[in-house]
Structure 1
Amino acid sequence: MHCYVYHSSRRPGTYVYLPRRDDFAGVPQALLDALGRLEFALAFDLPPERRLAQEDTATVLANLESKGFHLQLPPPEE
């Protein structure tokens, strides 16, 4: 699956993954409002065997298919 990632202008370290570029139809309006402007960050292929640095690939793929987006929050501070 091809994946498009946007970062939040209001919440540092917060990213939204989409299966189609600039298609925010599946993202709830309340979430869009909370995140502020979403700026395109990168696009990449996401096969099931690919490892991601901060997210579980299977979870990202499942969310993209079922919800139409995946929300990545910043890691908790230690």
Structure 2
Amino acid sequence: MQAYVYKSQRKQDTYVYLATRDDFNAIPDALKATLAPFEFVLEVALTPDRRLALADPAEVRANLAGRGFHLQMPPPPVAPVRVPRRND
């Protein structure tokens, strides 16, 4: 399965995978209004052995087959690590 990946120009580190290149009709209007405009960044073959950095490829394939798109949001922020002081 091919996927076409676009980054949101409004929301940093937010990506949309599409089943069909440039078919933004698959994205609900409210979501599209929040994220658009989009910039094409990658075409990728989502084979069963494909690994993705921040998404489960099986979930991406399922969303593409069922909805025509997959939304990848940025990972949640990591809590700061507290470094004990000498007097703690």
TM-score range, shorter chain: over 0.9
* Correspondence 1:26-41 to 2 at 5 A: 26-41=26-41
The RMSD of aligned alpha carbons is 0.7
Aligned to 2:73: 73
1:21 counterpart SS class: coil
**Which consecutive residues of structure 2, in runs of 5 or more, have no partner in the other structure?**
79-88
Aligned to 1:7: 7
1:31 counterpart SS class: helix
**Which consecutive residues of structure 1, in runs of 5 or more, have no partner in the other structure?**
none
Question: How high is the TM-score relative to the length of structure 2?
Answer: 0.86
1:41 counterpart SS class: strand
Q: Deviations over 1:13-65 (max 9, x none)?
A: 00000011101111101000000201101111111221111100110000000
Larger of the two Rg values belongs to structure:
2
Paired positions, count: 78
**Share of identical aligned residues, percent?**
54
Moved over 6 A (4+): none
